[in-house]
Structure 1
Amino acid sequence: MASHRKPRTSRIRTSHAVGITSAALTSVALLAQTANAAPAEPDKPSLEEVQKKVDDLYREAGTATQKYNLAKEKSDQQRDKLNNLQDEVAQRTEKVNDARRELGQIAAAQYRNGTSSDTAVLLLSDNPDDYFAQRQLMGRLSGQQQKAVEDFKSLQTQANDKRDEATDSLAQLSESEGDLKTSKQDVQKKLGEARELLSKLTEEEKQRLAELERKREAEAKRKAEELARKQAAEEEAKRKAAAEEAAKEEAAQEEAAEEPADPPADSGSDSGDSYAAKAEKVIAFAQSQIGKPYVWGAAGPDSYDCSGLTQKAWAQAGISLPRTTWDQVKVGTTVSVDNAKPGDLVFFYDDISHVGIYVGNGEMIHAPKPGANVRVESIYYMPIHSVVRPA
């Protein structure tokens, strides 16, 4: 029995060893395959996601551009104010020096006459006020001399006040220039991220992305044509209503056997004609800028950002618009999209970071974004925030 059990134990162990060896070899093979396989790539964003991300980055760059424009406007204004204050300080300092020389002459005369050496000290003191409180010497001066001292005190106070104001202005200028630098860096960062995203696309992906863009433009154009038809129908209805009203008035005049009178003036016709004339100048200028490149922070004459173009265009009609979209949207009267007229400003996005000039038929002239030129485009290319009539 003992000799019979040993072989069975040996076979069991042998079988077990073979199983272990096989499993080990399988594991080694799997590990080798895993080691030779290419590392798994993270999920690549779809083209639609890339398009949205690029659009978002351009919009954020537009917002940063408006911050830059605002900071630059404040910086320029602060610099002008500081320059004026420094000029005033110099002028007032010269007047103080003139007054000081006059007091010196009075003090010299007092000294020659032997009236009072204390008076001479008083007249030449840098702080006559304190000395008056201590010595009460004003009573020793003639009326003309007292006036000279009072003028000197007043001029000295004014000069010191202006120096303090100039110091504060310099601090504000430094703060504005800091904001300017930060905004500039933010714009450059957003544009850099957008360029990096686009640079990673293959040629095939770029073509597919361009096709998505064409579809987007086609949809925006369709909406613009729809608005154009609607506005044309409304204008035609207004013309018919006006013609019918004129016919009724003419019939009433004939029935009363009266001479035809001039039609009553429309209370809004003068302002409408005036606005149309201004808008014509605005649009003519904007059309002449078509093809010029978008450059953030630029306001002509060779390149523009969106609000730089609208500012310069409306300047042709004698209307001074602020520099940023955030301030331009506050100038004038807000109207509905359906009632938009040529010359109106169309603002976009919830943060009002873009603007264009409405030219009719659902279209606008605008400076779109980096890498694009001033062009005509549907107002529905971007989400509309509001429409404003500047004058």
Structure 2
Amino acid sequence: MATVERRRWRGRTALTLLCASALLAVSGVLGTPGAAQAAPLPEPGAKSLEQVRKEIDDLYRQAGTATDAYNLAESETKAQSAKIVEIAKQVVAGQDQITALKNRAGAAARAQYRSGGMPAGAQLALSGSPGQFLDGTDRLRQGAKATTDLLAEMNRTQSALQQYAKDASEQWQKLEANRVKQAVSKKEIEDKIKAAEELESKLQAEEKARLLQLEHDAQYKAQAAWLSTGVLKELNASASESGRKAVQFASAQIGKPYVWGAQGPGAFDCSGLTSQAWLSAGKAIPRTSQEQLRLLPKVALKDMRPGDLIIYFDDASHVALYVGDGAIIHAPRPGRNVTLAGAGSMPIKAVVRPDA
């Protein structure tokens, strides 16, 4: 009986080890890259699976660049819409002021009518008393100043209204231009994603599994090369309180899907994740990876700490949140989920710090 139990135990152990090996083979970051299964001989002129992988990666990269352009146009559109609303409020206030000034001018005209319609200067000349004359002179001077001030204020308000109208026209033109940019970027994104998905859809299930393995192998190779420089020996800075909160937020999003243009709560694109992570830490940062690179303070790689943002690729089309120990959390691309990855698994362009 004991012999039977030992055999069962050995069988279960072997099955466990087999499952663990399969998981490690596709882990990319956590384990060594698995060996891709032997590919069948390609047809003459057919693309290799590695060529297909690179083509798909390029398409998703291009979609990422277009997504950044779309997101920037969208944020600018929101800002311009808010500006137009503010201008509209200023126009209403200016029109109310004009109405008030006209009422004051009307009141002055009605007062003159009640005095017999005689100009104030004529009334002053006909006064029979030196005291009345002096009092009248003072009132005439005050009245003249009030009239001058009233006219000047009306002119200023009219000029302001004209400027508001000009500003509103300019903002509408920018708004329309950004809507065009959004439409162009959206079509480019959809076209690139569709092309990538069509390439992948032509693969058999076994080829898709090998494609994923090739993707993980490439990431592992890049991460191993980055770590071989000894970079982790220098990366020992602790996260700030805000950085710690940003990391906590990003960690809670692991497993949620990448959707271009998304900022949560159910899905994210790369900069949507990083901007929302820092917003949760009380710091509003630019929406796109390119604007995050342009506007946030840069730090040296050796000074990087958890919570910092790593900008990737020459065109700054991707961004991730550094979480320590050589790892990042990011939203990779369509068809993938928010995940933990190696910080060196992609070409690093710069490191920026939202709370510098």
CA 1:101–1:339 in 2, change beyond 3 Å: closer, same or farther?
Answer: closer
Larger deviation, residues 354-363 vs 80-89: 354-363
1:1-391 alignment runs, 5 A limit:
43-111=45-113, 113-115=116-118, 142-220=144-222, 222-223=224-225, 226=228, 231-232=232-233, 275-330=239-294, 331-336=296-301, 338-390=302-354, 391=356
Distance 1:89 1:285 in 2: 42
SS at match of 1:63: helix
- In the alignment, the residues of structure 2 paired with residue 306 and residue 95 of structure 1 have an alpha-carbon distance, to the nearest angstrom, of 48
**Structure 2 SS opposite 1:359:** strand
Q: What is the CA-CA distance between 1:294 and the residue it aligns to?
A: 1.1
Equivalent AA in structure 2 for residue 114 of structure 1: G
The amino acid across from 1:165 in the alignment is D
Amino acid at match of 1:85: I
SS at 2:256 equivalent? coil
Task: Write the deviation string for residues 5-50 of structure 1: whole angstroms up to 9, x where unpaired.
Answer: xxxxxxxxxxxxxxxxxxxxxxxxxxxxxxxxxxxx9933221221
Kept in 2: contact 1:71–1:177 (CA 8 A): yes
Query: Greater shift after overlay, 344-353 or 151-160?
Result: 151-160
Is the 2:289–2:319 Cα contact (8 Å) retained in structure 1?
yes
Q: 1:224: Cα distance to partner?
A: 6.5
Length-normalised TM-score, structure 2 = 0.73
Q: CA deviation at 1:171?
A: 1.5
1:325 is displaced (CA, Å) by 1.0
Distance change in 2, residues 1:371/1:144 (3 Å): same
Query: Per the alignment, in what secondary structure is the counterpart of residue 146 of structure 2?
Result: helix
Aligned to 1:265: none
Tell me by how many angstroms 1:297 deviates. 1.2
Q: Can you give the 5+ residue segments of structure 1 that lack an aligned partner in the other structure?
A: 1-40, 117-137, 239-271
Q: Which moved more, 1:153-162 or 1:363-372?
A: 153-162
Give the 3-state SS of the residue equivalent to 1:142 in structure 2: helix
Separation (CA, whole Å) in 2 of partners of 1:279 and 1:223: 27
Q: Report the Cα distance in structure 2 between the residues aligned to 1:339 and 1:319, rounded to whole angstroms.
A: 21
The structure, 1 or 2, with the larger RCO (C-alpha pairs under 8 Å, 6+ apart) is: 2
CA shift, 1:387, in A, is: 2.4
**Distance apart, 1:230 and its partner CA:** 5.6
Which deviates more, 372-381 or 196-205?
A: 196-205
Structure having the higher helix fraction is 1
Alpha-carbon distance in 2 for matches of 1:153, 1:386: 53
Aligned residues of 1:224 and 1:378 also touching (Cα < 8 A):
no
Confirm or deny: 8 A CA contact 1:224 1:361 kept in the other structure: no
- Give the whole-Å Cα distance in 2 for the aligned partners of 1:221 and 1:382: 8
Give me the whole-angstrom Cα distance separating, in 1, the residues matched to 2:314 and 2:202: 30
One-letter identity of the residue aligned with 2:257: P
State how far apart, in whole Å, the 2-side matches of 1:214 and 1:144 are: 80
Match of 2:255, SS?
Answer: coil
Contact 1:231–1:339 (CA under 8 A) maintained in structure 2: no
Question: 1:374 deviation in Å?
Answer: 0.9
- What are structure 2's unaligned runs of at least 5 residues? 1-42, 120-139
Q: What's the TM-score once normalised by structure 1's chain length?
A: 0.67
Contact 1:286 1:365 in 2 (8 A): yes
TM-fit CA distance, 1:210 = 2.9
| Aligned position for 2:136 | none
SS at match of 2:344: helix
Q: Secondary structure of the equivalent of 1:329?
A: helix
Q: For residues 56 and 310 of structure 2, what CA distance do their matches in structure 1 show?
A: 22
Separation in 2, partners of 1:109, 1:100: 14
CA apart distance, 1:73:
1.1
Q: What is the Cα deviation at residue 195 of structure 1?
A: 1.0
> What displacement does 1:158 show?
1.6
* 8 Å Cα contact 1:357-1:364 kept in structure 2: yes
Going from structure 1 to structure 2, the CA distance change for 1:370 and 1:145 (only over 3 Å counts) comes to same
Structure 2 residue aligned with 1:120: none
What's the offset of the Cα at 1:104?
Answer: 2.4
Query: Based on CA coordinates, which of the two structures has the bigger radius of gyration?
Result: 1
